[in-house]
Structure 1
Amino acid sequence: MGTVVSVRTGSSGAHADAAAAAAAAVFARWEARCSLFDAGSELSRVGRGELALVDASADVRDAYALALRWRDATDGAFTPHRGDGLIDLNGVVKALAVEEAGEALDHAGFAGWSIGAGGDVLVSTTSPGPDGPGRPVGIVDPTDRSTLLARIDLEPPHRRAVATSGSVERGDHIWTMPGAGPSPFLQVSVAAADLVTADVLATAIVAGGRASLDDLADRHDVDVLAVARDGALLATPGWPRRATPAGA
């Protein structure tokens, strides 16, 4: 998927190896299904016309159907269709893989864990941490990647996921709405109860700009922190709750 995945369980030795293996198996399956970085994946074969979408696995077809539902829910700000006509499911597949890897850790008996994958973070915790009931997640400053802009405490089940999208690390890879020009946001972070919602809405707000921020934040139970190109910060009322700037 063109990114790095990290798994933290607070364990070591054989337990840590088991956690890593469980997560790796999930990501390997999704890579084989939907990665456009792998020329042999099902979705790459669909893109070359070697495999009909209707003949692809249920994983691919279900992920595509999910992406289409989110396209409708965001009025097209989020879409699985690239400008060159290819179907690109990374906007939902990465989050699906992280969610499934988390389920694998739960089934393996890990009580508290976190999984990070390219700006997406999912946590599970059964006991309070040193800084409060949730797990603190830092939001990197898009203008200085060596510092944190802010933090938010994820408190399962109300908030157990945060996703960050933007153009700083990978350039302007998010397709904006037709005729809209470059996104007004360098970076958008969304905290939600599930990672698919967080990831999709972060992408949709970058793509749709201020109108999508206002609309989607109003219609969904999420917290949003957006960094404008001029450095201004826009946040929903819920974001400052137990979120403090780095160094504060």
Structure 2
Amino acid sequence: MGIPMSIDVRAGRAGCEAEGEAAAAAAVEAAFAVLRSADIRFSPFRVDSELCRFARSETVASADLVEILAIGERARVASGGAFSVRAPDGSLDTNGVVKGWAAQRAAETLREHGVTSFCLNAGGDVVTGGEPEPGRGWRTGVRDPWDPRRMLAVVEQRDGAVATSGTYERGAHVWDGRTGERSLPLVAATVVAGDLTTADVLATCVLVLGPQSLGWAVEQGARQAFAVLPDGRIVTAAEGQ
């Protein structure tokens, strides 16, 4: 997917026994296989990908592609058209769904292999399970868009996900589905949710819709949401507020 990915496994191993470590390694490899498969199948940059062949009407959508398109359509409707899997040129681009969806699938693969404590980092979007050590959750830093050495917040949770959408690293790669405009009201938006599919899609929606959408994101399933305005101010919303 053109981004760094890592998996930190703390469970699914019998102490330091070789058998436990081998099982954990097999689980990690299976999770990475899920990510590689999603990249091959749904990349808009591979002319032979399932996505591109579907867009050219050369194949019918698989169950996975149907699910991805359905997630995108629900987000489009919920956001009033701000989220879209159609690029400004009209081409089909599901990247706004696929990364979070694939990383969540990979996390579920780890659990299917018996790994109960892990942190999967997909280019800064994180899904976690269990605890890295007894008594505390995994800690995910939300970085300052202008200073990668500084954290704006640290989110601690056990089973959950954190996703950030912004323009400070990859430039104007997110567009407003209603207008095609790439000049957006926020520098970055971060969403904490129970799964990475939800967190990733909602972070993109908030980036497009602006700071007034934080409460809406909570209504849509976010546990917490952060937004960084161009002047450096940070606004937040959370469950129960």
TM-score normalised over the length of structure 1: 0.84
Change (3 A) 1:219 1:81: same
Number of equivalenced pairs: 232
Q: Which residue of 1 aligns with 2:199?
A: 198
CA contact (8 A) 1:9 1:19 kept: no
> Following the alignment from structure 1 to structure 2, what is the Cα–Cα distance between the partners of residues 33 and 198?
22
Among all aligned residue pairs of Structure 1 and Structure 2, give the percentage whose two residues are the same amino acid.
38
| Paired residues for 1:220-231 under 5 Å | 220-231=221-232
**Cα root mean square deviation, aligned:** 2.4
Q: Please state whether the residue corresponding to 2:48 is helix, strand or coil.
A: coil
Q: Distance in 1 between matches of 2:23 and 2:220?
A: 41
Q: How does 1:62-101 map onto structure 2 within 5 Å?
A: 62-101=67-106
Counterpart in 2 of 1:2? 2
Distance 1:42 1:170 in 2: 25
Separation in 2, partners of 1:239, 1:17: 40
Partners of 1:120 and 1:36 in 2: how far apart?
20
Q: CA 1:73–1:237 in structure 2 vs 1: closer, same or farther (change >3 Å)?
A: closer
Distance 2:221 2:27 in 1: 32
After the TM superposition, list the runs of 4 or more consecutive aligned residues in structure 1 that deviate by more than 6 angstroms.
none
User: Matches of 2:221 and 2:128 in 1, distance apart?
Assistant: 20
How far the C-alpha of 1:103 sits from its partner, in A, is 1.4
SS in structure 1 opposite 2:101? helix
Distance 1:16 1:146, change over 3 A: farther
Q: What is the Cα deviation at residue 213 of structure 1?
A: 2.8
Measured against aligned partners, the alpha-carbon deviations of 1:4-35 in whole angstroms (never above 9, x if no partner) come to 22111036853453133111211122123211
For 1:109, give the aligned amino acid. G
Give the direction of change, closer, same or farther, for the CA distance of 1:16–1:37 in structure 2 (3 Å limit): farther
CA distance 1:109–1:228, change in 2 (3 Å) = same
Q: Deviations over 1:57-92 (max 9, x none)?
A: 221122112211111112112111111111111111
1:243 is matched with: none
Letter in 1 for 2:126: V
- In 1, the alpha carbon distance for the partners of 2:201 and 2:3 equals 17
**CA, structure 1 residues 180+88, in 2 after alignment: closer, same or farther (shift >3 Å)?**
closer
Deviation of the 1:134 alpha carbon: 2.0
State the alpha-carbon separation in 2 of the partners of residues 103 and 43 from structure 1.
23
Q: 1:161 to 1:153 in 2, by over 3 A?
A: same
* CA positional deviation for 1:38: 2.5
Task: Show the counterpart of 2:152.
Answer: 149
| 1:27 match | 35
DSSP-derived class of the 1:114 partner: strand
Task: Say if 1:190 and 1:199, in contact at 8 Å, map to a contact too.
Answer: yes
Aligned residue number for residue 165 of structure 1: 165
Stretch of structure 1 that moved more, 184-193 or 143-152: 143-152
Shift of 1:105: 0.9
Q: 1:128 to 1:181 in 2, by over 3 A?
A: closer
Q: Secondary structure at the match of 1:101?
A: helix
Matched, 1:37 2:39: no
